């Protein structure tokens, strides 16, 4: 019976993901055929097989792992700082109206500012070393996290808080047993959005001239400068795969540690 249930679950999962897998196969097969039939030069559009061959070489010689390690370190170092400060600040803004009135205009003014426009200023202040790259990661992720956390706290029904108070819950119990758990979905959305922006900005910062010779961004720009298009596509493929894994990992961790917040999703 257990074996049959496991088979049904695996069959259901396969059926769910099959359309996506088919779409990928069709897309890359069409790409390969088009490049072959039109005899497109690799410098303009390399075939998927050539991209995979190039990626295999970069994996074998350790190039991709070396540069990916630096990029991931910068992303997560900045993201952890942004998550701790952003969630804490968002909770304070949600629970302290005066605090929110003071900070909300600043956040509203800074959020629409293109984050990439801060790169020249950060280079002037911090140089082009690791502090600069971690800072751009932290600042990029910070604003979405604090805004989502603040919104999650504010959207809680006042009647729910009043009911808890009527049942004898004190302020601390209401905050930590009702308000924060109820805001978890919004906080998770902010974390996912912040991570996506942090990845983009760290890679962009690595592509800036003079910012060092490490990271996927550096590998991308250096390959583009010598017209190694297949290597550019290989780097993009790695970024897409790693980014997808990070996002899915965040989602899994959120459902694992806060299942009550995702019971209906």
pLDDT tens digits for range 226-254: 989 999 999 999 999 999 899 888 888 87
pLDDT beyond 80 at 11: no
Same domain, yes or no: 22 and 153: no
Q: What is the pLDDT of residue 33?
A: 92
Q: What is the pTM of this model?
A: 0.84
Give the CATH number for residue 89.
1.10.3720.10
pLDDT beyond 70 at 265: no
pLDDT beyond 60 at 13: no
The predicted-structure confidence for 74-96, as pLDDT tens digits, reads as follows: 999 999 999 999 999 998 888 88
**Can you give the residue range of the structural domain that contains 5?**
1-39
Same domain, yes or no: 69 and 120: yes
pLDDT beyond 50 at 208: yes
Q: How confident is the model at residue 262 (pLDDT cuts 50, 70, 90)?
A: low
Query: Do residues 247 and 192 lie in contact, with contact meaning Cβ atoms separated by under 8 Å?
Result: yes
Same domain, yes or no: 10 and 103: no
Same domain, yes or no: 114 and 240: yes
* Number of domains composing the chain: 2
Same domain, yes or no: 25 and 51: no
Q: What is the pLDDT of residue 9?
A: 47
Average pLDDT over residues 186-212: 87
CA 57 to chain centroid, in Å, comes to: 27
Same domain, yes or no: 10 and 138: no
Burial pattern 20-33, b for ≥16 Cβ within 10 A else e, equals eeeeeeeeeeebee
Q: What is the pLDDT of residue 122?
A: 86
Q: Could you give the angle at which helices 229-257 and 216-225 cross, rounded to 10 degrees? A: 160
Q: What is the pLDDT of residue 84?
A: 95
Average pLDDT over residues 51-63: 93
The set of residues, in sequence order, having a beta carbon less than 8 Å from that of 1 and lying 6+ positions away, is: none
Same domain, yes or no: 57 and 11: no
Same domain, yes or no: 5 and 67: no
Q: How confident is the model at residue 72 (pLDDT cuts 50, 70, 90)?
A: very high
Higher-confidence residue of 10 and 127: namely 127
């Amino acid at each position: 019976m257990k074996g049959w249930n496991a088979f049904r679950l695996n069959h259901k999962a396969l059926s769910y993901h099959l359309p996506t897998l088919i779409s990928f196969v069709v897309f890359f097969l069409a790409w390969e055929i088009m490049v072959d039939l039109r005899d497109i030069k690799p410098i303009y559009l390399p075939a998927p097989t050539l991209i995979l061959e190039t990626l295999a070489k970069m994996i074998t010689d350790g190039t991709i792992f070396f540069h990916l390690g630096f990029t991931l370190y910068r992303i997560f170092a900045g993201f952890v700082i942004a998550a701790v400060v952003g969630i804490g600040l968002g909770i304070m803004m949600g629970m302290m109206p005066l605090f929110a009135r003071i900070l909300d205009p600043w956040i509203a003014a800074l959020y629409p500012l293109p984050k990439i426009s801060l790169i020249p200023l950060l280079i002037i202040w911090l140089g082009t070393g690791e502090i600069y790259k971690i800072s751009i990661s932290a600042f990029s992720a910070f604003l979405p996290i604090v805004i989502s956390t603040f919104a999650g706290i504010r959207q809680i029904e006042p009647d729910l808080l009043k009911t808890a108070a009527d049942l004898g819950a004190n302020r601390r119990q209401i905050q930590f047993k009702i308000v924060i758990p109820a805001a978890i979905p919004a906080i998770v959305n902010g974390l996912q959005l912040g991570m996506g922006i942090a990845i983009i900005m760290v890679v962009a910062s690595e592509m800036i001239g003079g910012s060092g010779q490490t990271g996927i961004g550096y590998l991308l720009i250096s390959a583009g400068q010598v017209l190694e298009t297949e290597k550019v596509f290989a780097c993009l493929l790695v970024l897409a795969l790693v980014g997808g894994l990070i996002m899915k990992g965040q989602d899994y961790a959120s459902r694992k540690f806060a299942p009550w917040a995702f019971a209906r999703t």
